[in-house]
Every structure is written in structure tokens, then in C-alpha cells.
């Protein structure tokens, strides 16, 4: 379990798949590393457009909260102004955990109308803003405060989530029931792990105290945050593989992978980890080993690789049908994405003459590959749909 919850396992198992594809042994995909320079140039052009001075922030949930240039985080800081630094960090942990868990793909139709700005948002940005407003209104707290507590989550209804996310027959959200069940399950998990989430008032924000206790000389390893997230929240994921009764989370099977055939990704957990690092930095902690974590294997990064020719499909039928998240096609696509993101990052740094300390993977994702993946998708397909269709239950992507 410790191995499968590690970034080392993600890279090692994904590299097995990558090697099989490069050797021509895949039924689904081929890889063309000759396209690497072209892809890096495309990513750099997007990065320079978004961040002309190349001062790129982390790829995390916090970026979505300020979409459109609206100072929503400044509004949040005003709301939290009476709190101590520690209490403020705990509140931001609360928000990040709930918002990320609600962040799986929204589909092409759903939109959120933000009344305070008269703006309308879809996809990840819409999900972020909807969750932020629900949080600010105290929807996840028994005391109607901007925080999240276990008791309230366990009583939270699907109707409340439907209302908060403005879902109706004309505005459907993919996997709304799966998202609601995640929140309810989160409430149960918070209670079951008092050493992480507190005893008297279990909440995600109490993880701040745990991480402070694990820091040494004001430093904390990013991998420590990920392993804690995986251990603490692993039981919330539905319908997953289990080992000795323990839920593996975002771990899937591939017939050609050695040993147990398991390929871990932990996409949402790594996305959450990246999002928790910033409140910890605000407390003065120095985060070490950022590049120990991997790129995120989701359809924007994976779509970039497909759309620009780093990955090609051996059978065009892959694009004409929909695939379940546990299918070999999707597992293989995601595994290739993890390894190719490392290659893209190295080539981007080489072209910019920057080090991994100056431009860690988490910044290249933001600058970066995720944005570039969305941009090329919009250029190639109506509505910016991903190149491969995925059957989502709202809990993976």
C-alpha cells in the first residue's frame, strides 16, 4: 500500500506502459518522441502569453478562483480577516479539499451563473466558483461559517448540491450523484481518523496541525503531503480496487504491467496536494521535493499529447466510442501522459535555459501543458472536447 501510494510507483508503473508502447507492443497507441520539440514550443508560446515574465504560479485549485480577473481570493481573505494565520490556513484547507473533490469533469453543457459578477462559467472554473460561493455561504458548516465540518457533510443532501451548483434538466452536470456521495463519504472519513482531522470537531483544516508536526526546520516534503492525503482520504473513492480490504483509490489494472498489473495515478489526490501546498507556504513552510510528484494524467494534458502527435492511436475507432475509466485504452493513455509530461517539462526547461528549481513541474502544468491542452482542443474540436470520450462518474477526472 505504501508503494502504490507513492509518486515512485506512479512513475515506475507508468514507465512500464510507456516502454511497451515505444516497443510497438501496444494494441492502442504509438509514441513519436520526434514531436517533443514541437510540443515544447507550443507549450512555451502558451506560457509566454499567460505569464510574459515566466513567473508562473502553482497549478492548483487557487488559480480557478480568480478566473476572469475577479479578486475572489481577496474577498475570501476579507471574510477570514478575524482569524489567526493558523485558523485562516485551516479554512483554506477546508475549501481546497471540498472544491477539489467536486472538480471532476463537468461535461460540455453545464454552466454556473455567478450572480455577484453576472458572469457565466463552465468546466473546472465553474465548479471552482460554485464551490467557493457555497463555502463562503457556510453550506458545508453546521454553524453556517466558511469552513467544513464532518457533521454537516454527513447530513448534506444531494438536493443541496444540485441547488448550489444550479443543476437542472437544461443544465445537467456529469456525475452529480457521485460528487454528492464523495462529500458524504468525506464526512465519514473525517470522523474515522481523529489523528489527522481532529477529535472534537473533525474537519479537513485540522490537517494543517498534522503537517506542522511533520515539518523539520520549517521544511515539509511534498511527497509527505501526498501520502497523508492518500492515507487519510483513500476510503472516500467508490468502486475501486481493494487489497486486503483497503481501497486503492485511483489505481487501475493493465494486462501488460508486471507483478500485480496495477497502475496508480492518484490524479485528484495530487491535484489536491498541489492545492494544499500554497496555504502551507503562507504559514512560512518551505515545500521540498516538488518534482517528486508527477504530472496530472487527465484529458487536457493527455489531449495535448494526442492532438500534437506525441501519441497516436493505432485504431481510429478509439475516437468514435466512449471508454470507461478502467478500460485499457484510458489506463494506457493516462500512463503515457504521466511519462510524456516529464519529457515535455525537461524539453521546456532546456529551451528556456531554466532549472527544475526555477520551473518545477507544477508550474509547467499551470503555464503550461494544461492550458495548452485546452487551447489546442478548442482549435480542433467544437466546444473544446477532449479527443477521447470518457464515461465519467464525477470522481476520477
pLDDT digits (tens, 9 = 90+) for 53-86: 999 999 999 999 999 999 999 999 999 999 999 9
Strands 322-324 and 389-391: parallel
Do 397 and 105 form a contact (C-beta atoms < 8 A)? yes
Q: Quickly tell me which residue has 508560446 as its cell.
A: 45
Q: What is the pLDDT of residue 117?
A: 95
C-alpha triplet 283, 222, 65: angle, nearest 5°:
60
Q: What is the pLDDT of residue 337?
A: 98
Tell me: the pLDDT tens digits for 189-228?
A: 999 999 999 998 999 999 999 999 999 999 999 999 999 9
Q: How sure is the predictor about 267, in pLDDT bands with cuts at 50, 70 and 90?
A: very high
- pTM here is 0.92
Q: Are 46 and 73 found together in one domain? A: no
Do 397 and 326 form a contact (C-beta atoms < 8 A)? no
C-alpha triplet 11, 19, 358: angle, nearest 5°:
40
Residue-number span of the structural domain to which 173 is assigned: 60-214
Q: Are 283 and 177 found together in one domain? A: no
Q: What is the pLDDT of residue 12?
A: 97
Q: Are 112 and 79 found together in one domain? A: yes
For the cut 70, the answer to whether the pLDDT of residue 397 exceeds it is: no
- For residue 300, tell me if it sits in a domain: yes
- Going by C-alpha positions, the residue among 219, 113, 102 that lies closest to residue 158 is 102
Q: Are 52 and 128 found together in one domain? A: no
Residues 6+ apart with CB under 8 A from 345: 295, 356, 359, 361, 364
Q: Are 44 and 71 found together in one domain? A: no
Tell me: the pLDDT tens digits for 273-293?
A: 999 999 999 999 999 999 999
Residues 6+ apart with CB under 8 A from 54: 47, 48, 352, 354, 359, 367
Amino acid at each position: 500500500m505504501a508503494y502504490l501510494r507513492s509518486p515512485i510507483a506512479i512513475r515506475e508503473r507508468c514507465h512500464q506502459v510507456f516502454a511497451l508502447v515505444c516497443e510497438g507492443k501496444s494494441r492502442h497507441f504509438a509514441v513519436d518522441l520526434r514531436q517533443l520539440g514541437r510540443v515544447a514550443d507550443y507549450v512555451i508560446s502558451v506560457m509566454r502569453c499567460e505569464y510574459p515574465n515566466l513567473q508562473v504560479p502553482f497549478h492548483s485549485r487557487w488559480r480557478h478562483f480568480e478566473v476572469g480577473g475577479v479578486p475572489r481570493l481577496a474577498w475570501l481573505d476579507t471574510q477570514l480577516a478575524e482569524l489567526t494565520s493558523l485558523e485562516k490556513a485551516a479554512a483554506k484547507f477546508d475549501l481546497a479539499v471540498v472544491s477539489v473533490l467536486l472538480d471532476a469533469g463537468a461535461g460540455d453543457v453545464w454552466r454556473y451563473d455567478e450572480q455577484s459578477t453576472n458572469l457565466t462559467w463552465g468546466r473546472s472554473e465553474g465548479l471552482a466558483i460554485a464551490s467557493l460561493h457555497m463555502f463562503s455561504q457556510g453550506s458545508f458548516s453546521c454553524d453556517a461559517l466558511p469552513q467544513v465540518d464532518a457533521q454537516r457533510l454527513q447530513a448534506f443532501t444531494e438536493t443541496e448540491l444540485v441547488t448550489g451548483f444550479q443543476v437542472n434538466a437544461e443544465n445537467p452536470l456529469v456525475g452529480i450523484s457521485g460528487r454528492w456521495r464523495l462529500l458524504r463519504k468525506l464526512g465519514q472519513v473525517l470522523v474515522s481518523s481523529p489523528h489527522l482531522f481532529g477529535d472534537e470537531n473533525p474537519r479537513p483544516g485540522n490537517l494543517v496541525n498534522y503537517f506542522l508536526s511533520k515539518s523539520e526546520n520549517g521544511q515539509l516534503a511534498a511527497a509527505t503531503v501526498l501520502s497523508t492525503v492518500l492515507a487519510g482520504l483513500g476510503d472516500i473513492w467508490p468502486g475501486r480496487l481493494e487489497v486486503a480490504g483497503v481501497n486503492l483509490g485511483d489505481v487501475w489494472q493493465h494486462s501488460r504491467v508486471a507483478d500485480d498489473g496495477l497502475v496508480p495515478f492518484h490524479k485528484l489526490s495530487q491535484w489536491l496536494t498541489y492545492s494544499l501546498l500554497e496555504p502551507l507556504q503562507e504559514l512560512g513552510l518551505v515545500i521540498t521535493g516538488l518534482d517528486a510528484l508527477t504530472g496530472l494524467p487527465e484529458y487536457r494534458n493527455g489531449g495535448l499529447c494526442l492532438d500534437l502527435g506525441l501519441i497516436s492511436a493505432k485504431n481510429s475507432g478509439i475516437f468514435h466510442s466512449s471508454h470507461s475509466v478502467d478500460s485499457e485504452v484510458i489506463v494506457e493513455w493516462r500512463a503515457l501522459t504521466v511519462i510524456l509530461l516529464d519529457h515535455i517539462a525537461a524539453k521546456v526547461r532546456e529551451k528556456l535555459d531554466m532549472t527544475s528549481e526555477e520551473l518545477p513541474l507544477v508550474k509547467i502544468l499551470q503555464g503550461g501543458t494544461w492550458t495548452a491542452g485546452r487551447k489546442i482542443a478548442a482549435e480542433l474540436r467544437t466546444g473544446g472536447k477532449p479527443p477521447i470520450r470518457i464515461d465519467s462518474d464525477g470522481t476520477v477526472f
